Structure 1
Amino acid sequence: MTTKRATMIGFVAVILWSFLALFTVGTAPMPPLLLNAICFAIGGSLGLAWIAKSGGFRQLKSVPLWVFGFGTIGLFGYHILYFSALRLAPAAEAGLIAYLWPLLIVLFSGLLPGEQLKRAHILGAVVAFAGAAMIVQSGGSGFQIEALPGYALAFCCALFWSGYSVLSRKLGDVPTAAVAVFCVTTAFLSLALHLALEEPQWPSSALGWASVLALGLGPVGLAFFVWDIGVKKGDIQLLGTSSYAAPLLSTLILVVAGVATASWVLALSALLITVGAMIAARASVSSDT
């Protein structure tokens, strides 16, 4: 597989994750751990079915146990933070903060051996973080102090997923089939914690259940397999920087669906986060030419 093809496959995940906020809102009032368990059970089952059909179980025998632990922590940690953030803060604003991860991937990958961090990377980070600061300060309809825990969790999401993605680069020899195991173990871990910490609540409509299924099939299913291919075999900096479309797509989807209200603060925040990632992207592209 060529680097270009792997990068394009990885970008499919960005498209799928653009619907993550919308589908998450649709699953309310399901608590985060229960939602994690069900969605990853769906995604993991699809992955295991694919492995069985392709004969990929043989590849898993050589995978160290610590790698399964790393993958489980990555998937579990990011999504419990994300689902919790969108339960505690407005979806569009929390989603934009969480979508600082493409920029952070560029910054963190610049610290890898053989890579370098340029001034433009730093400038891009400042611009993007200015957009995130606007959200925290103003929100969609005025400052909402009760939403601060949600905003904090959303920022932790960005840190968590960017760090996980860059560290995954070190696991280039681990087969993508291992992602199915990550999903299944994440589902079991989430279920155990749900039973210990949460009271079950279920969607009250067919649309709510459809949102759960859509999450499991796409943003919390197929997305991880194509993303794994992209970060391991593709151009990780180009993949991270091309993901600048994610915050705009996600926000636009929420506004069109009527979940978020269009406002100049929301639009400017999305623009700053996107422009910041684009500035960093230009620096990465220029360093490869």
Structure 2
Amino acid sequence: MNPSKPNNNLPTLVGLSAVVMWSATVGLFRSVSEIFGATGGAALIFTVGGLLACLVLGFPKLKTFPRPYLWIGGALFVAYEVALALSIGFALNREQAIELGMINYLWPSLTILFAVLAGQQRGSWLLLPALLSSFCGIVLVVKGDSAWSVQMLWQNMASNPTGYGLAFFAAGTWAVYSVFTRRFGNGVNGVPLFLVATAIVLWGKYALGNEPALSLHIGGLLQVAVMGALMAAAYSCWNHGIQHGNITILATMSCFTPVLSALIANLWLGTTPSTGLVYGVAMVTAGSFLCWVVTRRNALDPGKH
């Protein structure tokens, strides 16, 4: 080992542990939203996640935050979380909730694309077919078992434009957050603060909107506790990984998240995956993996960014 170069294997492994924990989010988000409502359920989850993150990691001192990371990074984090949670909660049924969750997994390929554009990673023209594979996979996910046509795709998305719009927005926002945090985070972990901020935004929406009243549901509260714990741990690990580890490996190995997530969500929610979902997830995964193959030999020294 060259002592002059930092060893980023451990931070990379820490970041990869988040992939495993994230795989349970789609199914749990949906089941909690069915019990407490889309906004109320998400607010409960982020409240628990934020409190646990503060207990374990401590509430960060604002004076240690680089201002771009605090305000812009924090806004990106909150926007992503709210968009993802509400997109799944607003799904018309459980099958569509899984579809919307899979759209979110465009972010690994988009992260690599944005890292190349930001000069954090070298790429080549072969990145384009990799990205095309991921986007074609999302088309198959939205298509489901229906026959292919542009009109059919439009009708599927038009059935729930808010849900689909939020899902696509979430995918792009998290990719931007990952690249932005690596550039401006300066080693600071703002996850506890950002989770609390997300909870505050969601509770504000709950208070101002025409939301159903929350009721005591022991099973639902247990799911909230599990989801909150997974969230606090996953985002803390990911934040550490993208700041100190190999962003290309993290973004690309996370390509396996949709496979594991789709499996867990279908088992948890008791749904049967459509043919389009199976092939679409495979293409999203293949696209992300190809992104890694294209860029892995051209990685820039992470210590320089």
Please give the TM-score of this superposition, normalised by the length of structure 2. Answer: 0.84
Q: Displacement of 1:15 after TM fit?
A: 1.1
Query: Could you tell me how far apart the structure 1 residues matched to 2:146 and 2:160 are?
Result: 12
Listed as ranges, the matches of 1:146-225 within 5 Å are: 146-176=159-189, 178-202=190-214, 205-218=217-230, 220-225=231-236
Letter in 2 for 1:146: S
Q: Which amino acid aligns with 1:253?
A: I
Tell me how far apart the structure 2 counterparts of residues 42 and 193 of structure 1 sit (CA, whole Å): 17
Note the residue ranges of structure 1 that are not aligned, 5 or more in a row.
none
Q: 2:106 aligns with which of 82, 88, 100?
A: 100
Supply the distance in 2 between the matched residues of 1:119 and 1:152 (Cα, whole angstroms).
Answer: 28
The residue that corresponds to 1:73 in the other structure is: 75
Partner of residue 233, structure 1: 244
Give the Cα–Cα distance (whole angstroms) in 1 for the partners of residues 176 and 8 of structure 2. Answer: 21
Of all paired residues, the percent bearing the same amino acid is 26
1:272 alignment partner in structure 2? 283
Q: 1:114 and 1:252 mapped to 2: Cα distance?
A: 33
Distance in 1 between the 2:185 and 2:77 partners?
Answer: 17
* 1:154 to 1:63, Cα distance in 2 relative to 1, 3 A: same
The 1:207–1:107 alpha-carbon spacing in structure 2 relative to 1, beyond 3 Å, is: same
CA deviation after TM superposition for structure 1 residue 188, in Å: 1.9
Map 1:92-131 onto structure 2 (within 5 A).
92-131=98-137
Superposition CA RMSD, Å: 2.3
Unaligned runs of 5+ residues in structure 2 are: 1-5, 301-305
Report the Cα distance in structure 1 between the residues aligned to 2:178 and 2:221, rounded to whole angstroms.
Answer: 30
Kept after mapping to 1: 8 A contact 2:14/2:238: yes
Figure out how many residues of one structure are paired with residues of the other and give that number: 282
Q: By how many angstroms is 1:205 displaced?
A: 4.3
Letter in 1 for 2:14: I
* Partner SS, residue 119 of structure 1: coil
Which residue of the partner structure matches residue 28 of structure 1? 33
State the one-letter code of the partner of 1:233: H
Structure 1 residue 266 displacement after superposition:
1.2
Q: Which of 17, 39, 50 lines up with 2:56 in the alignment?
A: 50
- C-alpha displacement at 1:83, in angstroms? 1.8
Give me the whole-angstrom Cα distance separating, in 1, the residues matched to 2:274 and 2:199.
37
- Following TM superposition, the consecutive aligned residue runs of length 4 or more in structure 1 with deviations greater than 4 angstroms are 140-143
Which residue, 37, 43, 50 being the options, matches 1:37? 43
The 2-side partners of 1:61 and 1:68 are apart by: 10
CA displacement at 1:240 relative to structure 2: 0.3
Assess if the C-alpha contact under 8 Å between 2:122 and 2:299 holds in 1. Answer: no
Over 3 Å counting, the alpha-carbon distance change for 1:61 and 1:148 in structure 2 is closer
| Partner amino acid, structure 2, of 1:109 | A
The alignment status of 1:243 with 2:254, answered yes or no, reads yes
